[in-house]
Chain A
Amino acid sequence: MTSPIDVEDGGTSVVVDGAIQLATTPEAKELQGRSPGQLMWIRFKRDRTGVISACVVIFFFLIAAAAPLIAKLYGKNPYTVYADEQPELFDSAGVPVQPNGGISSEFWFGLEPGNGYDVFTKLLYGIRTSLMISLAVTVATVLTGILLGVTAGYLGGKTDYFISRVIDFLLAFPAQLFFIASMPVVVSLFVSPTDETPVYVRVVALIMVQWFLGWMSLGRILRGTTLALREREFIEAARVSGAPPWRIIRREILPNVVTPILVQGTYMLPNFVTAEAGLSFLGVGIVEPTPDWGQMFSKASTELVMQNDITYMFFPGISMIIFIVAFNLLGDSVRDAFDPKTAR
């Protein structure tokens, strides 16, 4: 769903030159003028669902950032193979002996069937890896989307035509198939196929591949918004007063496209999280022993887990559902706060 942009109300913050500033300041003093950002913040604070989901999302980012600290306090790390360290905890197949996946006061979330990693630290570090990658992809796609979308919309003409056709073309790509097909190719750009692939190369490849097919929707929206903004009077005024294009884009257009960027950004990030997890699930993303959210799912779908104790499955599963639900609700609230007119 695309968010309609509130161009009418969004333009108030724009100050073109000194004369207009003088005209508006006395009025602003009397009426306690609020910037659109402040208005949005006030509306957002009133939305209880939004605040709660924002807290949940922040909680996830906090535990991801503090994963090493938490693991240190908890006294374990996600790389210890407890099947070797404490074999008495596992039966011959590698399944934890104790019920419910080996949950105990020592291992809060139990032990992973098979290698016997500690699930709690594994999950913390896994969330950390996934969120780091997804955040990087989001930043990269947003920057690309701004660059190409605003350029296309502002310059128009041949540039616009060319960028729009590129967007159309990339949207026709079978995305998931392209991801799995190009992952090995991108990895091979950095290392030769005979060498061991370092973790950072996989991470960089994941980011690149998702970035390549991730920016188009935002780019298209920003193109449309810029196209509409270009015809507005304040842009015209700026152009007439001799402002160079770069200044117009930076000072007049960018402040007015913050809304779609924020709204789309909050919708995009959870999608990147699930896409990255999907790739790792298929075995083309992050691989053992590096902890990763998606790779925990691939471990959970082995016959060993499905036939014996399925407790392990729920930790990555439920945590991801909570995260995605919270993030989607947050996205809706952000949109509502910016655009009070659109009905849900």
Chain B
Amino acid sequence: MLRFLVRRSLGALVILILLSIVAFLLFFGMPRDPALLMCGKGCTPANIENIHHVLGLDKSIPEQYWIFLHNLVVGSNDFAQGPCPAPCFGYSYHTNEQVWGTLMDRLPTTLSLTLGGAVCFLVLGLGTGLIAAWKRGTLVDKTFTAGAMVISSMQIYFLGPLALAILVYQTRIFDKPAYNPISSDPVAWFTGLIVPWVVLSTIFASQYTRMSRSSMIEQLQEEHVRTARAKGMSSRYVFFRYAWRGSLIPIITIFGIDLGSLLGGAIITEYTFGLPGLGRLAVEAVSFSDLPLLLGVMLFSATMILLCNIVVDAAYAFIDPRVRLA
């Protein structure tokens, strides 16, 4: 287990370094000059030269990348804005704040949105999937399957504004979505996020309904399940203790991918509901051409995705004893 974790973490580290190189080349190696964007209208060559020097853009690309890595690992005191401790992504061009600090500010919003949403869509998706498999072939099954099919074809950018319009703007049942820290006001935290949770979980749950139904049906045809039935165990016991456990494997795979990409910033969801999370931060960074911030968000969210993948692979071994981690 430990060997597996170490090996996978090293692999993830390699991917992260490669990713940072690609992202760095993409943003800093391209013919576009970030100084030109910062300088704005009425820009003189002297101004541009000055900005280049301040941002360190007058150095060569490998040199810039080395400085970036160096700052990331040990921090730096060279920034004009002030000292920058260890995980240092530099200072944002736009707000002049530390990128790491901004990331940490935005993380709780994304965490709340994602974890709350995940609980909702897992319960909803697995529940409906199990019921559909249990009642296979009946009207309930067909309704759930067809419903999941239609809902999974909806997009957050349609369902989100629709829910906002109906639940918030037209009927005023709920407040406008907003993020309030759970530590200061749990009730406001809950009511502020309920509409995003509902929308997020509706869309994600449909996928889990389909997955858990089909994987459950597959499991029920397995031989160990048939043996258990033949021994005279009750169908309920076999259903939950034998088939359900086996059917979780493919679901966990998908869940790991979903959770990772959501934690890395549910871009469209946060943008739709105006929640100040990591995804929205990315959109802001793009619109202001804020390269250090963008690089920070990108690496952070890639780390989230990779971490979730490792955790998921490790979780297989707990659920299915046949899986050995090599």
Seen from chain A, the residues whose Cβ lies within 8 Å of a Cβ on chain B are: 168-169, 172-178, 180-185, 188-189, 193-194, 274, 277-278, 281-284, 294, 297-298, 300-301, 303, 305-307, 310, 313, 316-317, 320-321, 324-325, 328-329, 344
Contact = CB atoms under 8 A, between A and B. Distances in A.
Interface stretch (B58-66, B134-142, B161-169, B180-188): B161-169
Contacts of B31: 188-189
Nearest to A327: B153
B15 interface: yes
5 closest residue pairs by CB, A with B? A301-B161, A324-B153, A188-B32, A306-B165, A317-B158
Given A284-B286, A306-B164, 14 more contacts: A169-B15, A177-B279, A177-B297, A177-B301, A180-B283, A281-B271, A297-B155, A300-B161, A306-B161, A306-B169, A307-B169, A307-B170, A310-B162, A344-B214
Contacts of A281: 157, 268, 271
Interface stretch (B2-10, B87-95, B97-105, B259-267): B259-267
Nearest to A270: B153
A185 B32 contact: yes
B301 A174 contact: yes
B80 to A, nearest CB: 24
B157 A184 contact: no
Contacts of A277: 155, 157
A277 B294 CA distance: 22
Contacts of B23: 181
B286 A181 contact: yes
Contacts of B261: 174-176
Nearest to A174: B301
A202 to B, nearest CB: 14
Nearest to A332: B149
A184 B289 contact: yes
- In terms of DSSP, what is the predominant structure of the interface of chain B? helix
Contacts of A320: 153, 155, 158
B272 A174 contact: no
B26 A185 contact: yes
A261 B320 CA distance: 33
B282 interface: yes
Contacts of A193: 32, 36-37
A320 B153 CA distance: 8
17 contacts: A169-B18, A174-B298, A177-B298, A181-B23, A181-B26, A185-B30, A188-B32, A282-B267, A283-B283, A303-B169, A306-B168, A313-B161, A313-B165, A320-B155, A324-B153, A325-B153, A329-B149
B160 A301 contact: yes
A181 B30 contact: no
Contact of A174 (B153, B160, B302): B302
Contacts of B18: 169
A20 to B, nearest CB: 39
Contacts of A274: 155
Nearest to B159: A317
